[in-house]
Amino acid sequence: MVKENTFAFFLGCLMPNRYPAIEKSTKFVMEKLGYELLDMERATCCPAPGVFRSFNKIDWMVAAARNLCIAEQMDADILTVCNGCFGTLQEVNKHLKSNEEHRNMVNERLKEIGDYEFKGTIDVRHVAEVLGYEVGPWGIEDVIVRKVNIRAAIHYGCHFLKPTRIREIESSEGPSIIEEFVEALGVESVRFKEQLTCCGAGGGVKAYDGTASMTIFGEKMKNIDEVKPDIILDICPFCHLQYETGQDYLNKNKSCNYDYPVIHLSQLTAYCMGMDQEFIGLQYQLMGREYIFGGEELEKEEEVI
């Protein structure tokens, strides 16, 4: 039986290597909220849906199923922070639960690489979904110790909500899960043109054709720049990388002058729950612009780490 309030924490590739502050913030937030995050020993790449699946769908499922089996052996649902990891692991998990032919095929392959058998006993969750629906703005109000006062351009990314019939979170046409949650933190969401389009990184585009990736991203940044937010708020480390490095590329190669701090949902939530900027990594993103987070200190202020 799956343990309650316990997750097998799937780190993925990018977060622990490029953004350990997001990993640290996620652990801080979830543990403060009463969840236990377990390390997934021997876990591998999810693997990335936009690349591996395009070459060999069966091998993609086998690699994903091995990660799912590790969590099954821990009797814990998986918690992801990355949209791509969420997309792969959730999709393969649901598919193998319902497709006996593929489940048997995958399990035959798994026998060749170790003591693994996909049984379909767990679910796969994204931290934004857990915060948005399970904790909710009604629940986070009780544990935050400070509110911010910022305007944010919110980027959902592609794989968090799409395809809707598989994700089963909410419609990808007009989502509000992130907006409603961060409003409780003091954030005003500013809508911008084509808000729900890709950042240009996913689907293998960034790796295959950097020019196309930056063309898509350039259009995205132009739309964001029109509404002049204080920050860009994302829920995925890969989108996070695109927004950070992409702004530098456009500034150097397209005569742009973008300088928007990029903040992950876990970082912002951790800050509002009492985690110091130094430990969240926000001092690097804000680069001396602490006034951006100038908000309301609540009477229930706790000791920060």
Under-70 pLDDT residues of the chain: 283-296, 299-305
Q: Measured between alpha carbons, how far is 234 from 154 in angstroms, rounded to an integer?
A: 6
- The predicted structure's pLDDT at residue 300: 54
* Sequence-separated (6 or more) residues with CB below 8 Å from residue 41: 70
In CATH terms, is domain 6-126 a member of 1.20.1050.140?
Answer: yes
| Alpha carbon 195 to chain centroid, angstroms | 17
CA angle, residues 15, 19, 22, in degrees to nearest 5? 85
Give me the residue spans of the domains in the chain. 6-126, 136-297
At 213-248, the pLDDT tens digits run 999 999 999 999 999 999 999 999 999 999 999 999
- The predicted structure's pLDDT at residue 294: 59
- The predicted structure's pLDDT at residue 289: 56
Instruction: Give residue for tokens 């949209």.
Output: 83
At 1-10, the pLDDT tens digits run 899 999 999 9
- Coil, strand or helix at 32: helix
> Half-sphere exposure of 290 toward its Cβ, with a 13 Å CA cutoff?
7
- The predicted structure's pLDDT at residue 284: 60
Torsion of CA 275, 280, 285, 290, to 10 degrees: 20
Annotate 82-144 with DSSP letters as a single string: SHHHHHHHHHHHHHHHH-HHHHHHHHHHHHTTSS--------EEEHHHIIIIIIHHHHHTTT-
CATH architecture for residues 136-297: 3-Layer(aba) Sandwich (3.40)
Q: Measured between alpha carbons, how far is 273 from 158 in angstroms, rounded to an integer?
A: 28
Nearest to 136 by CA among 180, 81, 197: 180
